[in-house]
Chains A and B, each alone.
Chain A
Amino acid sequence: MDLHSLTIHQLHDLLVKKEVTSREATEALYRRIKKTEGKIKAYLLLTEEEAFRQADQVDRKIAKGEGIGGLAGVPIGLKDILCTKGIRTTCASKILEGYIPFYDGTVIQKLKKREAVFLGKLNMDEFAMGSSTENSGFHITHNPWDLKRIPGGSSGGSAAAVAADECIAALGTDTGGSIRQPAACCGVVGLKPTYGRVSRYGLVAFASSLDQIGPITKDVEDSAILMDAISGYDPYDSTSVNVEVPDYKRSLKRDAKGIRIGIPEEYFVEGMDPEVERSVKEAIDFFRKWGAEIQRVSLPHTEYAVAIYYIIATAEASSNLARYDGVKYGLRSKGYRDLMEMYAQTRAKGFGKEVKRRIILGTYVLSAGYYEAYYRKASQVRTLMRKDFEEAFQKVDVIVAPTTPTPAFRIGEKTENPLQMYLSDIHTIPVNLAGIPAISIPCGFSHEGLPIGLQIMGKHFDEGMLLRVAYTFEQNTDFHLRKPSLT
């Protein structure tokens, strides 16, 4: 038995039965990382000492006959955008090189309380800006299914590590698709919770009205386990919402009977990848066979999603990233003559190309004379897009569509054309703009053996329904069981 290939719930069962220890599992993961990381390059930092300390603590509890929770002793990876006390947090940016937070974000505190083992920090697009992890300030991550392809982004390190069995599960963040798109590209499960479901305290901000933390896992049950752990209101995040969190594990039912599933015609447009279309349509047929009621819905403002998003997200980013000024932490350039030069040179040296591009764009759309034409206009169309979903959800319980228009593209394919890169997020962005939850699960493979993702979108705070529908599909198919050969 390969310990590294286990899911959270499988490892938990073995820990409880005392068939393995958390230390053995953690050792197995680091052995796996040593073996495959040269090809994948998913991690930015490994925290072995801390991991074994946590693992031993859990093992002592088990040895003493104490009960443990579902995440105790389970080795997981963290996207390097989550602040970890005493552990370097870079956001894959040179401007944060050497930044060691003196506090844990809320989700980290929650996972520590549940005694999860942290293997290390995972690669990403710098400040979560990108769809391929090629914008990391440190190195590129490779897709385990085809090393010449991107793992998706921005949580590309998280998705690649889960797919390559370099961690049992991982956390990512999603602003315009950054959990779901890499999950689809790497053939794993990624859930973007409702805006406000999970606290953003200690998540380095990109676009504050869109960012959410969520799980990237090997199966749907693990997604539910992590959602149970990280969800909930937090006084330290005034946008987290004080509503009851259900027991997500109890929503895992192998049954879609009577569930109303909407198919948005705008997501099936001419020119979409035929293999993606076929896999998603087969998934829809599956749900029909399993008793779901399928109907067409319309989300007429879908075509404007990319334009709205790259105005709103860059505007918020230009404001959020103003804090990197070389004064309080992180990089400070040398050779400046005055304060203004210190700011401008520090930022020139510390930020990568895509981050600079977005800061310029965001500053422009907020600047005097352009605010009305861009930012205000985009915020109005955002209202129309939100209403599209509100209307559709009057008639259906979930909406099903592809996660991405194509399987993972080649490394370098879109780096010279930012607009083409932005358009690869067309199916995931509307969810963030509307603040609704969505999950991506594996639903097929292309003829080249690349994973294809099925996206299930739900009503605000209805993650339970997403998990149920996803679980029904997963438990009756075997796409999630396939592993990349990594040769």
Chain B
Amino acid sequence: MKMDIEKVARLARLELSEEEKVTFGNQLEQILTYMEQLNRLDTTGVEPTSHAIPVHNVFREDEVKSSFPQEEALAIAPDEERGHFKVPRIIE
């Protein structure tokens, strides 16, 4: 299976160097080939497992509880202003 590595990297919001594109491309191709062994199994009608232990929605009363102070959360942010995380302008 050939992977369009540039497209996948874009989806993952990850910049890759030219060298990384080549090495990862080769290594991932080898790994994907290995994974093709799963196709030997007929899984028609088999339910997929996303959790090994049955999990259910957990409900609780909608009560007001204390949360982490805003200042503490913002104190470790790379950039902040007036109580918000600050990022480059996204609307022209």
- Chain A positions within 8 Å of B, measured between CB atoms, are 98-100, 102-103, 194-196, 209, 235, 238-239, 241, 301, 303-304, 306-308, 310-311, 318, 322, 325-332, 336-345, 347-348, 351, 353, 356-357, 359-361, 363-364, 367, 374, 376-384, 386, 418-419, 422, 433-436, 460
Contact = CB atoms under 8 A, between A and B. Distances in A.
A347 B16 CA distance: 10
B77 A329 contact: yes
Contact of A238 (B24, B28, B58): B58
A327 B41 CA distance: 43
Nearest to B74: A328
Given A311-B35, A328-B73, 17 more contacts: A102-B73, A194-B53, A195-B51, A196-B53, A241-B53, A307-B35, A310-B31, A344-B15, A347-B12, A363-B12, A374-B35, A378-B35, A380-B49, A381-B43, A419-B31, A422-B31, A460-B53
Given A102-B72, A330-B78, A377-B38, A344 B14 contact: yes
A98 B79 CA distance: 14
B16 A356 contact: yes
A328 B46 contact: no
A327 B5 contact: no
B3 interface: yes
Contacts, number: 158
A356 B17 CA distance: 11
Nearest to A374: B35
Most-contacted residue by chain A among B37, B48, B88 (CB, 10 A)? B48
B50 interface: yes
21 contacts: A102-B76, A103-B68, A209-B52, A239-B55, A304-B38, A304-B41, A327-B77, A332-B78, A342-B88, A344-B14, A356-B14, A357-B28, A359-B12, A360-B8, A360-B12, A360-B28, A364-B8, A377-B39, A380-B48, A382-B48, A383-B46
Nearest to A238: B58
A383 B51 contact: no
A282 B13 CA distance: 51
- Classify the interface of chain B: helix, strand, loop or mixed: loop
A322 B13 contact: yes
A383 B85 contact: no
Interface of B: 3, 5, 8-9, 11-17, 20, 24, 27-28, 30-31, 34-35, 37-39, 41, 43, 46-53, 55, 58, 60, 68, 72-73, 75-79, 85, 87-90
Contacts of A195: 51-53
The 6 closest A-B pairs by CB, nearest first: A435-B52, A379-B48, A332-B78, A348-B15, A380-B43, A344-B15
- Classify the interface of chain A: helix, strand, loop or mixed: helix
A378 B8 contact: no
A360 B12 CA distance: 7
A255 to B, nearest CB: 29
B51 to A, nearest CB: 5
Nearest to B72: A102
Contact of A327 (B8, B9, B43, B87): B87
A185 B35 CA distance: 27
Contact of A378 (B17, B38, B85): B38
Given A100-B76, A239-B55, A209 B31 contact: no
B51 A435 contact: yes
Contacts of B48: 376, 379-380, 382-383
A343 B78 CA distance: 13
A206 to B, nearest CB: 16
A102 B77 CA distance: 12
